[in-house]
Amino acid sequence: MKKNHWLFFLLWLPSLAIAGPSAAKTDQTAPFAAPAPISYVLSMPQPQTHYFEIEMRVSAPTALTDQAGNGYIDIKMPVWTPGSYLIREYAKNVEGFRAQAGDRMVRSEKIRKNTWRVYTKEESLVIQYRVYAYELTVRTSFLDQSHGYLNGASLFMYVDPLRNQPHRLTVQPFKDWKKISTALPAVAGQANTYEASDYDVLVDSPMEIGNHEVLTFTAAGVPHTVAMYGEKIYNSTRLAEDMKRVCETAATVIGEHPCKEYTFIVHQTPTGGGGLEHQNSTTLQVTRDAFITARAYQNFLSLVAHEYFHLWNVKRIRPKALGPFDYENENYTHLLWVAEGITSFYQNYILRRAGFTTADEYLRNFAYEISGIENLPGTQVQSVAEASWDAWIKYYRPNENSVNSTVSYYSKGSVLGGLLNLSILQSTGGRNNLDDVLRLLYDTYYKKLKRGFTDEEFQQAVEKVAGRKMDDFFQKYVFGTEKIDYNGFLNPVGLRMVDASAGKQDPYLGAITKLTEGKLIVSAVRRDSPAWNEGINVNDEILAVGGLRAGADLEKQLATYKPGDSVEFTVNRGGYIKNLTVKLTGNPLAAFRIEPVSSPTPEQRALYARWLYLKTT
């Protein structure tokens, strides 16, 4: 998953743009001849109302008996969607639940926020309900006059004892909508009907319905489809070629492509931002500038690389807690820094290896990511293992103090992935790198043992590939918050890190502000900064600085002072005017740059070339 988040402004992560309609067709035939125990018919007769209508047929002997001797079946709605670690309460959009057996209505009642109990001993039931779908994100469903998008977990109810059985879906598209794009295999001879081998596969297969453009290409021997929803402002040929190159390079990491076919759904939206991974597909959201400016296009390809790489890392190479899923509760793991952080590392590494970025650009990104995490006070407070565990209540529920209390498992995980890669290269003389760790995990846990791995098993895989113990690394940097010795990792490839801002005498306040309706409002106060120490508060409106009316650009106003100056700030705090005297300090924020050591040895040069996939002369 990738999402728009306040941290994106503080830590480097690509911003995205663009979208257009598209559909993907599958010519794969579902292997299941017998009728599925659960089948759904999804219709959308009035898309302007944003309601999907769902008829769910349950045909299997699943009824249980309660204490009063009544037979019942519980019908449930997921509360979250895999890949996005927040309880979203999808049942909040459900209306009109009713149950029928034969031609009789059957009594039902809601017994939990997401559970309907249907009282019946019948083996065959028809459930009807409708779902309001008007939030176009990668983790929700959406319907309007222009298209429909399905995220299965937000639409399809399930019956626990039947989750592992085949589920069938028939779609009745609105009027003249001609295209359906999904990774689900189609049922031969039945229009717009798809079959999933189990419920997990059903909800792990998003679907785009409408009249979108469909691009196709083959990468690593696998047919790929791209459904493009939105304005047609991209060059289809170039887009397909570039995406193909990203996919082919990503496939070299593990060296085996496990998909029969793969589907991209790309939504162009006004705000854009983010993607969600699935086993054989992904949904990406971008703003229109992704197809207009070179920088935004590179960020788009970076998003493609990220979500695509997830088909291996997290959908198959996965922490134990992430599958099979509990759809009713939080699923806890310390390893989101591996699932998301190492995927973020690979999105950059893949673009370098595919030649979309230069070695210098890779180094600039790496240094920028490092500056981002090192400049966040939260880096000293929360480890990436804790950040992973608490994603449900912290990363996905940020507040004004997040800058001081949390670290992003994406950003720090990406940096740690980069450091592990360097460490393995160094300890094996360039023979192995992080690819070998992922390949080992893929072969051992996905293919052989068919399960996820534990914290310990991840570390063991790293140690096996590196050929040495790595306790220090994991204790200090993964489960701890110790300061990282970057030069220790960079020196073997002939590089060192320097702080370009060292020695500068910029004045520093430590209050982050935003302009709201013409008012300069404090949105965060950085821990241990002058603003923090002197009690400037979040939500204070800064009225004046040193007796002068505060302008829109506080930085510019502060630039007239120097470190050590005491400055009077006049603030409006809930209607009361207050004056606070703050002694400014020098700016402690680093601007790291990675540069060559003065005279690199031939060994350092060779390892550098191996690291960044450069041709040696």
Q: What tokens appear for 487 in the block? A: 């030069």
Pick the piece of the chain touching Zn ion (CB under 5 A) from 175-183, 235-243, 340-348, 453-461.
340-348
The answer to whether residue 303 forms part of the interface with Zn ion (CB under 5 A) is: no
Cβ atoms of residues 251 and 213 within 8 Å: no
Nearer to Zn ion, 56 or 251 (CB): 251
Nearer to Zn ion, 83 or 173 (CB): 83
| 322: amino acid identity, one letter | L
Enumerate helices (H) and strands (E) in the chain, giving the number of each: 17, 30
Residue that is written with structure tokens 């009027």 in the block: 175
Q: What is the DSSP letter of 90?
A: G
Cβ atoms of residues 267 and 192 within 8 Å: no
Residues ≥6 apart with Cβ < 8 Å to 189:
none
Pick the piece of the chain touching Zn ion (CB under 5 A) from 137-145, 337-345, 364-372, 380-388.
337-345
Q: Which residue is nearest to Zn ion (CB)?
A: 1
Nearer to Zn ion, 203 or 542 (CB): 203
191-210 residues near Zn ion, rule: CB under 5 A: none
We find the least distance from the C-beta atom of residue 1 to Zn ion, in angstroms, to be 4
Pick the piece of the chain touching Zn ion (CB under 5 A) from 93-101, 156-164, 336-344, 469-477.
336-344
Nearer to Zn ion, 74 or 340 (CB): 340
Q: What tokens appear for 185 in the block? A: 């295999």
Nearer to Zn ion, 201 or 284 (CB): 284
Q: Which residues of 137-175 are buried (b: 16+ CB within 10 A; e: fewer)?
A: bbbbbbbbeebbbbbbbbbbbbbeebbebbbbbbbebbe
- 80 vs 83: CA distance, rounded Å: 9
Nearer to Zn ion, 208 or 340 (CB): 340
Count of residues engaged in binding Zn ion, rule: CB under 5 A: 3
We find the least distance from the C-beta atom of residue 105 to Zn ion, in angstroms, to be 44
CA distances from 144 to 44, 51, 141 (A): 9, 9, 11
Nearer to Zn ion, 261 or 340 (CB): 340
Pick the piece of the chain touching Zn ion (CB under 5 A) from 221-229, 333-341, 505-513, 529-537.
333-341
Cβ atoms of residues 127 and 118 within 8 Å: yes
| 277: amino acid identity, one letter | E
Q: Where are the alpha helices (DSSP H) in 320-392?
A: 336, 343-353, 359-374, 384-389
Nearer to Zn ion, 84 or 371 (CB): 84
We find the least distance from the C-beta atom of residue 116 to Zn ion, in angstroms, to be 33
371-390 residues near Zn ion, rule: CB under 5 A: none
Nearer to Zn ion, 173 or 274 (CB): 274
We find the least distance from the C-beta atom of residue 305 to Zn ion, in angstroms, to be 11
Q: What tokens appear for 363 in the block? A: 């180094």
Pick the piece of the chain touching Zn ion (CB under 5 A) from 263-271, 289-297, 338-346, 523-531.
338-346
Closest CA to 264 of 286, 283, 288: 283
Report the largest interatomic distance among the alpha carbons of the chain, rounded to a whole angstrom: 85
- 504 vs 286: CA distance, rounded Å: 38
Pick the piece of the chain touching Zn ion (CB under 5 A) from 128-136, 172-180, 190-198, 334-342.
334-342
We find the least distance from the C-beta atom of residue 310 to Zn ion, in angstroms, to be 6
We find the least distance from the C-beta atom of residue 110 to Zn ion, in angstroms, to be 34
Task: Indicate if the alpha-carbon torsion angle 342, 348, 352, 356 is positive or negative.
Answer: positive
We find the least distance from the C-beta atom of residue 141 to Zn ion, in angstroms, to be 20
We find the least distance from the C-beta atom of residue 391 to Zn ion, in angstroms, to be 12
Closest CA to 15 of 243, 299, 288: 299
We find the least distance from the C-beta atom of residue 417 to Zn ion, in angstroms, to be 13
We find the least distance from the C-beta atom of residue 82 to Zn ion, in angstroms, to be 11
Pick the piece of the chain touching Zn ion (CB under 5 A) from 265-273, 320-328, 332-340, 421-429.
332-340
Nearer to Zn ion, 1 or 550 (CB): 1
30 φ, ψ (degrees, to nearest 5): -65, 140
157-196 residues near Zn ion, rule: CB under 5 A: none
Cβ atoms of residues 414 and 338 within 8 Å: no
| 410: amino acid identity, one letter | Y
**C-alpha neighbours within 13 Å on the C-beta side of residue 219:** 27
Q: How far is CA 535 from the centre of its chain?
A: 36
Pick the piece of the chain touching Zn ion (CB under 5 A) from 2-10, 120-128, 160-168, 458-466.
2-10
- 6 vs 586: CA distance, rounded Å: 25
Residue that is written with structure tokens 């995490």 in the block: 373
We find the least distance from the C-beta atom of residue 308 to Zn ion, in angstroms, to be 10
Nearer to Zn ion, 259 or 304 (CB): 304
**C-alpha neighbours within 13 Å on the C-beta side of residue 309:** 31
We find the least distance from the C-beta atom of residue 468 to Zn ion, in angstroms, to be 29
Nearer to Zn ion, 340 or 436 (CB): 340
Q: What tokens appear for 227 in the block? A: 């459904």
Nearer to Zn ion, 1 or 420 (CB): 1
Compute the chain's Rg from CA coordinates: 27
The answer to whether residue 1 forms part of the interface with Zn ion (CB under 5 A) is: yes
| Torsion angle defined by CA atoms of residues 25, 339, 361 and 266, in that order, rounded to the nearest 10 degrees | 20
Query: Burial level of 257, CB count in 10 A (0-12/13-18/19+)?
Result: middle
We find the least distance from the C-beta atom of residue 573 to Zn ion, in angstroms, to be 40
Nearer to Zn ion, 340 or 455 (CB): 340
We find the least distance from the C-beta atom of residue 205 to Zn ion, in angstroms, to be 18
Nearer to Zn ion, 139 or 439 (CB): 139
Residue that is written with structure tokens 């910029």 in the block: 506
The answer to whether residue 524 forms part of the interface with Zn ion (CB under 5 A) is: no
561-600 residues near Zn ion, rule: CB under 5 A: none
454-473 residues near Zn ion, rule: CB under 5 A: none
299 φ, ψ (degrees, to nearest 5): -65, -35
Pick the piece of the chain touching Zn ion (CB under 5 A) from 1-9, 411-419, 463-471, 512-520.
1-9
We find the least distance from the C-beta atom of residue 280 to Zn ion, in angstroms, to be 16
Pick the piece of the chain touching Zn ion (CB under 5 A) from 144-152, 339-347, 349-357, 450-458.
339-347
Residues that bind Zn ion (CB under 5 A): 1-2, 340
